[in-house]
Amino acid sequence: MSSQGFELPLRLLLAFRVLIDELHAELARQGHPDIRPMHGFVMQAIGPAGTTAVELGRTLGVSKQAAGKTIDTLERIGYVERSIDPHDTRRKIARLTPHGMDALNRSARIFDTLRARWAEELGEERLHALESDLRRMTPDNLWRLDIPGWFGTL
């Protein structure tokens, strides 16, 4: 009895949170104290070419309003800037500022070093197997989960 089944999902969440927490501790040390856990993923989704609220909402699987709000806050704290699309004055393209790109680059590097620590701890083979197993059990598209509000709410 006692259902060890709870163990698996909890460990997955915990592992995620541990990585995210270490990332943000390090990001804070490196000059990005204001950034919030999802901002890195959002900026990753914005990409180098920039995007609009509607597009961002589609790729993240949230409403355009939610995406718009997130862009608002990223703009407010200086990680994103908006400009109107000259070809379609309805559209406002959100692009990463240098500060935003810096955060994204640092996030990537920090994640890489965290992964390296895991590789050290578990061995590269074990870690590789873990990643491959996780890929097997999760959808192809990392972003679009088709679970409403999967971002931000348990």
Distance CA 154, CA 2 (A): 23
Q: Closer to DNA at the Cβ: 37 or 47?
A: 37
What is the H or E stretch that residue 91 is in? strand 88-96
DSSP-derived secondary structure letter, 31: T
Binding status of residue 151 toward DNA by CB under 7 A: yes
Residue 138 engages its own copies in binding (rule: CB under 8 A): yes
- Report the distance separating Cα 135 and Cα 140, nearest Å: 8
Site size toward its own copies, by CB under 8 A: 58
Q: Is 28 a binder of its own copies (CB under 8 A)? A: no
Which of the ranges 70-78, 79-87, 95-103, 123-131 carries the binding residues for its own copies, by CB under 8 A? 123-131
**Contact indicator for 61, 150 with CB cutoff of 8 Å:** yes
Tell me which of 48, 49, 98, 153 binds its own copies, using CB under 8 A.
153
Does 54 contact DNA by CB under 7 A? yes
